[in-house]
Chain A
Amino acid sequence: MDTGAGPQAAAIESQLKLQDLNARYVEAIDDGRFEEWPDFFMETCKYRITTAENVEQGLPLSIIYATSRAMLRDRVKALREANVYEAQRYRHVLGPSLLVPAADGSIAARTNFMVARVMHTGETALFATGRYLDQVVLTGGAALFAEKTVILDSRQIDTLLAIPL
């Protein structure tokens, strides 16, 4: 029986697909499976980390800025082979997503996050809070990020931001 439940069911399905995408996304990062990180995005995509202050002032600067999977792969390679940073892990915790479906079938979503950073010494700190502004596209049943903008609430970053958020 579908009467009136069509659009609602579709909305619920989109919600679940998007939350599943983000849950797998943060799990890959938290588990240290960085090589899987670019695969959550479309080949041509946009990923950037910035601050709420920059956004509020209409300033375009990003802390990390990538416009393709290739650039994301380069960042992973740099993390593995080039950059020096003390061993650390993240633990993301996400809030429920607020979805705004678009006419072209893509989904815009806002999701709150908090990330703890745990150093190899055991020192644990609330490292970052903010929200994801995502543009998600469903292709062949799979959900991928066309765009992910990570907006940090604070303009202050403790020491460095090596692992992507």
Chain B
Amino acid sequence: MNIHERNWPTEGLTRIPYWIYADRELYAEEQARIFRGDAWTFLCLEAELPRPETFRTSNLGDMPVVVTRDRDGAIHAFENRCAHRGSLLCLKQRGEAREIVCVYHNWTYDLAGKLTGVAFRRGVGGKGGMPADCKPDRHGPRQLRVEVLAGLVFATASHKAPPVAQYLGPEIVAKIRRVMKAPVKLLGGYSQILPGNWKLYMENVKDSYHASLLHMFFTTFRLNRLSQRGGLVVSEDGGNHISYSMSADVAGKEYEQAGMRTAQSGYSLEAPELLQNVDEFGDGIGIQILSVFPGFVLQQIRNSLAVRRVVPRGLERTELVWTCFGYADDDEAMTELRLRQANLIGPSGFISMEDGAATGFVQRGIRGADDEESVVEMGGSGTSSEESRVSEAAVRGFWKAYRRHMDM
């Protein structure tokens, strides 16, 4: 069925049609309408461009992007594509450069992505060269609008997108600033290649309901039970969210009474220093997961801090790029604490290893079910903030924003 003939289920946001994860035409439309559209995409941490005349490569959806810090310290982002024949400009993931030179024909660019040199433009010995009226810079790599907020580098290909602070909304900005409260120090990174459509992972992040049910580690050590105090904040347009919970334990027995798989009380750690932590934010919030449409996550799990980029790599393939960090003024003990707590996250994460696989379970489970729908009614049908995390409001919010961008 042609994607333009497909209609969203009449119930609205409480039903997600499975064809939404399995249609190639739709994937291409998402690239154009979302990633190259009016959305802001997180490219990298400012700290990943540590000095003037450094660069990183990143992504705007499928589109390869170069991010640079120029000689004056300003940050630029542009397509990683030569104006000439379309070759990648930067082949390495990071580096130092005063200018960018394409390997193919040596066309040269400044760090803002402006074409500055064409090899043999006037030919050699009076022969060859480019006609005088040819303006190759008109085909140049598209320069993106860049805004840095709290050490996070965002970019958009759109002239219409509102400023980042407005795109995020005041609650999201406040919670970003809460974590990005001081200059950061990189601890390292890695990527997971997930066997599912990018939207499945974003839903998983926004799904505060699954956390203590899929991830048994969380529940049994009372790191996060849905009975702990906390909340769910969803931005007005639905696309951004924060799910948070307080550190203080709540000694309820709801899980045991309901016979939940994840509540076996006989499980205890031999080395409890894994869970040792410090209230470095001073507000008692032990966990804060924040997401921004379309594919950015900021994580605070105790003292484990990270950003995650959700990069579509095909219809059923997603690269989840993790970068962990601390603060520049962390002492050795604090860094060690963060490194130990990193056992909780990432591809081997005690509380996160299931998430990537779960996207694969859905992608496989829905084969042959294009015309069926998933049911998203926990917490009702709305997309507003609420005190309970037994809610799929943020998931419905994602689809509200998605439909708006996709004009569905």
Listed in ascending order, the chain A residues whose CB lies under 8 Å from chain B are: 49-51, 53-54, 57, 59-68, 70-71, 73-75, 77-78, 81-86, 155-162
Contacts and interface: CB of A to CB of B under 8 A. Distances in A.
A71 B343 CA distance: 10
A83 B216 contact: yes
Given A62-B342, A63-B347, A74-B270, A157 B191 contact: yes
Contacts of A61: 187-190, 324, 339, 342
B348 A162 contact: yes
Nearest to A83: B353
A162 B138 CA distance: 50
Contacts of B350: 78, 82-83
B187 A74 contact: no
B192 interface: yes
Contacts of A158: 192-193, 195
A33 B189 CA distance: 30
A161 B347 contact: yes
Contacts of A155: 189-191
Nearest to A77: B267
B214 interface: yes
Given A60-B339, A83-B354, A51 B190 contact: yes
A90 B342 CA distance: 24
Interface residues of B, number: 37
18 contacts: A50-B188, A59-B189, A61-B188, A62-B188, A65-B339, A65-B343, A74-B270, A78-B217, A81-B264, A84-B357, A155-B190, A156-B190, A157-B190, A157-B192, A159-B192, A159-B356, A159-B357, A162-B353
Given A62-B342, A65-B339, A156-B193, A70 B353 contact: no
A151 B350 CA distance: 20
A149 B353 CA distance: 21
B343 A64 contact: yes
A85 B357 contact: yes
Interface string B343-368: 10011101001101100100000000
Contacts of A74: 269-271, 274
Contact of B217 (A83, A157, A160): A83
A83 B190 CA distance: 21
B342 A85 contact: no
B142 interface: no
B220 A82 contact: yes
